[in-house]
Amino acid sequence: MLKRTLTTAATSKPFRLAVVGSGPAGFYTSHKLLKESPTTQIDMFDSLPVPHGLVRYGVAPDHPEVKNVMTTFDKVAEDERFRFFGNVTIGKQNDDNISKSIAVHELQRYYDAILFSYGASEDRQLGIPNEDVYGSSSARTFVGWYNGLPRDRDLKLPLEDTDTAVVIGQGNVALDVARVLLSPIDELRKTDMTEYALEALSKSRIKHVHVVGRRGPLQAAFTAKELREQLKLPGVQFRADHTWIHDQIQQHSDYLAKRRPLKRLMALLDQEQNKQGDKSWHLQFLRSPVEILTNNDRVAGIRYEINRLEGPVEKSRAVGTGEYETQECGLVLRSIGYKSLAMDGLPFDVQQGLIPNLYGKMIDHEQNEMPGMYTAGWLKRGPTGVIVSTMSDAYETADTILADLRKDAPMLSSQNHADDDLFQLMYQRQIRHVSYDDWKRIEAAEFQAGAKLGKPREKFTTVEHMLDVLNR
Ligand SMILES: Cc1cc2nc3c(=O)[nH]c(=O)nc-3n(C[C@H](O)[C@H](O)[C@H](O)COP(=O)(O)OP(=O)(O)OC[C@H]3O[C@@H](n4cnc5c(N)ncnc54)[C@H](O)[C@@H]3O)c2cc1C
C-alpha cells in the first residue's frame, strides 16, 4: 500500500531522497530532515526485510535498554513522507548477484539525492596462519549468530569441546562476547537471544575467557559500563596482572588526571576481586597473536609474540620483543573491528575503509563534491562509535543536506520521478519488497513467538520465515 506518490507536490517541489541502510545513521538523518524540511520525501532501502541494522543484529541481547531507540525509529517511519523498502539490496559489493538488486546508477534515476548509510558488514582479519580453521571465528559472526542474523545462523563452534576461549581485542564488542560466553544461561533466556544460540550455549563447557590486547590497560577501548558488567558476572573471577596494571596507572597519573572517563575506567581495573566461582575471565596485555595452533584441523591453542610499549602514552605503540608464548584454548574469536565494503559506482578510501566525504557530502577521487550524494554513520567515519555518536554524525550529514537545499545546490539529475517505474524494476527482478507496515507484522509475530517462550521476542532467522509471515 503506497502512502504517497513521488509526483505529489506538497507546498513546493518535493525533495526526493533515497536512504541506503536502515541502521541508526539512516534513521537519524531521516529524522532531522523530515523535521526541518517539509518538502523532503524519503524512501529507505535495506537489504534485509527487517530494519534497524546493528541495533537488532549487533547490540547484545542483555542490553534491551539500548534497543529502545527503535521506538524513535518507529516514529520516523510513521511520517507520511517516509517509506521503507526492506529486502531490497542496493549496489554491487563483492560477488553479489546484481540481478537481485538495484544498481547505484539505476537508483540515481529516481531521486534528487541518495544517502549511503550501509554500515560495515564485514570484519577485519588478523592475517595469521590457521585463522579460518574450525574453532576460530570473528566476533562479528558470533554476534550475528546469537542475534539471529540470517547469514550467520549456521555458525558452528566447538562450545562443548573446550573450557577455554580467547577473545582477541579489547573493545566493547570483545566484552560483549566474553560476557555472553560466561553469563548464566537462565539470565540469557530472559533476553531475545535466539533459541538455537541458547540451546548451544546451555551445553557450552567454556569456563575461562581470555581477553587479549596488543597494548596496555590505558589503551584498552572498552568503556566503564561494559567493564562494570563484566566484573559483576556471578561466579566469574577476574584475573589479570594486577601489580603491573597498578604500576601503569601510577606511572601515568598525570596523564589520567586530565582524562576523567579513562581515570574512572582504570580505577575499576585497579581492584583485585575476592570473588568465588569456577569460571574466570582474564585480561591479558602486550600480546600479538602470530599463529593459531591446530590439532586435527581444529583450534588447539594460540601463539603470541610478547610486546613492549614504546613512545608517549597517548601514542604508545606495541613493539614485538622477539619472545613468544603459547596458550591452550579451543575457541578463538577475533574482535579487532568491523569493515565497510566498497560499492560499485561509489568512491571508496580502501586505507581508511570509508567513503571520502566532507561533513557527509561525498567527494570523488579528484576531490570534487558529488552533487546529491551523501553518507552517514559507520560508512562515513569508519566503524567505531556508539549509537549516540552515530546520531551526532547523522545530524551533521542532515545539516549538510539542509544547507545544500537552502542554497539550491545542484542535486542528482534524476530523469524519472514515477513510482511505477521503480516498482516495475523491482517486479522484473523478482524483488519482494517489504514495507514498514509489513515489518510491524513480522515483529508482531516475533513478539507472539517470544511470549510463548517467556522472552521479549523470538526472531525469525531466515528471510523465508520473515516473508512467510506476510503470506499468512
Ligand atoms: C556487536 C556490536 C554491539 C554494539 N553495541 C552497542 C551498544 O550496546 N550501545 C551502543 O550505543 N552502540 C552499540 N554498537 C554500535 C552501534 O551499533 C553503531 O554505532 C550503529 O549501529 C552504526 O549505525 P549505522 O547506521 O552506521 O550502521 P548499521 O547499524 O550497520 O546499519 C547499516 C544497515 O545497512 C544495511 N545494508 C548493508 N548493505 C546494504 C546494501 N547493499 N543495500 C541496502 N542495505 C544495506 C544493513 O542491513 C543495515 O541494516 C554496537 C556495535 C556492534 C558491532
- Distances from the Cα of 10 to the Cαs of 37, 57, 200, in angstroms? 12, 37, 54
Based on the fold, state whether residues 226 and 107 are members of the same structural domain.
Answer: no
pLDDT band per the 50, 70, 90 thresholds, residue 8: very low
Asked if pLDDT for residue 17 goes beyond 60, the answer is: yes
Q: What is the CA radius of gyration of the chain?
A: 24
Same domain flag for 260 and 143? yes
Cα distances from 295 to residues 20, 43, 329, in angstroms, run 44, 51, 11
Q: Is the pLDDT of residue 301 over 90?
A: yes
The pLDDT score that the predictor gives to residue 3 is 52
Q: In the listed set 333, 359, 378, which residue is the last one of a domain according to the structure?
A: 333
- Indicate if the pLDDT at residue 10 is higher than 60: no
Q: 43 and 103 share a domain? A: yes
Residue scoring higher pLDDT (1 or 417): 417
Examine the domain organization and report whether 132 and 48 are in the same domain: no
C-alpha cell at position 157: 563452534
Q: What is the pLDDT of residue 369?
A: 97
The percentage of the chain sitting over the pLDDT mark of 90, rounded to a whole number, equals: 91
Listed residues 308, 333, 358: the one ending a domain: 333
b/e sequence 206-238, b meaning 16+ C-beta within 10 Å: bbbbbbbbbbbbbbbbbbeebbebbeebeebbb
Do 151 and 291 sit in the same domain of this protein? yes
Name which residue sits closest to atom 14 of ligand 1, judged by CA. 386
Q: Does position 152 have pLDDT exceeding 50, yes or no? A: yes
What's 103's DSSP letter?
Answer: -
Instruction: Judge whether 65 lies within some domain.
Output: yes
CATH number (domain holding residue 159): 3.50.50.60
385 with 268, same domain: the answer is no
115 and 136 in a single domain? The answer is no
317, 333, 349 — which closes off a domain?
A: 333
Same domain, 313 and 361: no
Q: What is the mean pLDDT of the chain?
A: 94
pLDDT attached to residue 421 = 86
In terms of Cα–Cα distance, which of 336, 296, 281 is closest to 161?
296
Query: Do residues 28 and 158 share a domain?
Result: no
Ligand 1 atom with the smallest distance to the CA of 21 is 34
Nearest atom in ligand 1 to the alpha carbon of residue 378 is 26
Query: What is the average per-residue pLDDT within 364-385?
Result: 96
CATH number of domain containing 49: 3.40.50.720
Q: What is the pLDDT of residue 333?
A: 98
Question: Does residue 441 fall inside a structural domain?
Answer: no
> In angstroms, rounded to a whole number, what is the distance separating the alpha carbons of residues 377 and 354?
10
pLDDT in tens, 219-259: 999 999 999 999 999 999 999 999 999 999 999 999 999 99
**DSSP H stretches of helix in 366-433:** 378-381, 387-406, 419-428
- For residue 2, is it within any domain? no
Stretch 265-281: mean pLDDT = 89
Alpha carbon distances (Å) from 457 to 130, 153, 189, 356, 431: 37, 17, 11, 39, 27
Q: 155-206, pLDDT tens digit by residue?
A: 999 999 999 999 999 999 999 999 999 999 999 999 999 999 999 999 999 9
Asked if residue 292 lies in contact with residue 130, where contact means CB atoms within 8 angstroms, the answer is yes
Task: Mark whether 116 and 141 lie in a shared domain.
Answer: no
Grid coordinates belonging to 155: 555458525
The pLDDT of residue 51 = 98
Range of the domain at 394: 15-121+340-434
Domain count across the chain: 2
Residue 267 lies in a domain: yes
With a cut of 60, say whether residue 97 has pLDDT above it: no
Pairing of strands 236-239, 279-284: parallel
* Residues 370 and 262 reside in one and the same domain: no
Whether residues 277 and 177 share a domain: the answer is: yes
Region 345-360: mean pLDDT is 96
For residue 447, tell me if it sits in a domain: no
Ligand 1 binding pocket (C-beta < 6 A) is: 20-26, 45-48, 53-55, 58-59, 63, 66, 89-91, 93, 117-119, 121, 143, 173, 176, 338, 377-378, 385-387, 390
What is the model's pLDDT at position 95?
A: 56
Percent helix, strand and coil across the chain, each rounded to 5?
A: 40, 25, 40
Residues 31, 76 contacting (CB under 8 angstroms) = yes
